[in-house]
Amino acid sequence: MRRAISSCFVFLTVILVLSSLMARNAQGDERTAHDFNFRAIEGGPLPLKAFAGKTVIVVNTASQCGFTKQYAELADLWARYRSKGLIVLAVPSNDFGNQEPGSEDQIKEFCEVNFGIDFPMTEKTHVHGGGAHPFYKWAATHFGPLSKPRWNFHKYLIAPNGELAGWFSTMTSPTSDKVVNAIETQLAHTARND
């Protein structure tokens, strides 16, 4: 019985991965993350192509969330890996529970004062639903429906070439072994290409 359940789980996992890949290929979407642009929290353009050659972790954030403490972990990642080519990109969003109600100035001040954040941030952005930013719509097509943000502090990892390298749910700590290993794998690619 246990063997049958295990085989069924493997089969379903393979089906989900294949259908995700087929959906991507059927759409003919050959874009990379470098094809998308945000606006910086300070104003002005923030094109992802500016981070070409870097490993980027994109995180939708909120200041009044139970997971807001992950800002401290993101700051730790930034401090440990920025000199090796990591970019942490925070994307404040009010999509989940209205937990980011402030203005861009208020968000930036909150992050600087409470967490010492100095990594790049976008302006407040929709990451969920029909009004989601094009990057988030694109990213959600690559790993299937489970990879869409379902709450604040969802994470996408972008390889130095702009390809999506992975995603991590809200519950996954930015400093977990799973995330750190994935980042270090991408940073190794960066180092080999220097």
State the pLDDT at residue 14. Answer: 42
Q: What is the pLDDT of residues 60-102, one digit of tens each?
A: 999 999 999 999 999 999 999 999 999 999 999 999 999 999 9
pLDDT higher than threshold 60 for residue 138: yes
- One domain for residues 120 and 157: yes
State the pLDDT at residue 80. Answer: 97
pLDDT higher than threshold 50 for residue 16: no
- One domain for residues 9 and 57: no
The CATH number covering residue 117 comes to 3.40.30.10
From the list 116, 108, 110, 141, the residue with the least C-alpha distance to 41 is: 108
Domain count, the chain: 2
- One domain for residues 5 and 79: no
- One domain for residues 86 and 178: yes
- One domain for residues 86 and 6: no
**Active site (annotated) includes residue 8:** no
State the pLDDT at residue 193. Answer: 56
From the list 63, 87, 61, the residue with the least C-alpha distance to 155 is: 61
The pLDDT of 49-61, averaged and rounded, is 98
- One domain for residues 88 and 154: yes
State the pLDDT at residue 189. Answer: 79
Domain of residue 3: give its range.
1-30
- One domain for residues 77 and 114: yes
Q: Tell me how crowded residue 76 is: count the other CB atoms within 10 A of its CB.
A: 14
- One domain for residues 73 and 19: no
The active-site residue, picked from 57, 58, 65, 158, is 65
- One domain for residues 24 and 39: no
The whole-angstrom separation of Cα 75 and Cα 80 is 9
The whole-angstrom separation of Cα 119 and Cα 125 is 17
- One domain for residues 50 and 14: no
Q: What is the pLDDT of residues 141-161, one digit of tens each?
A: 988 888 999 999 999 999 999
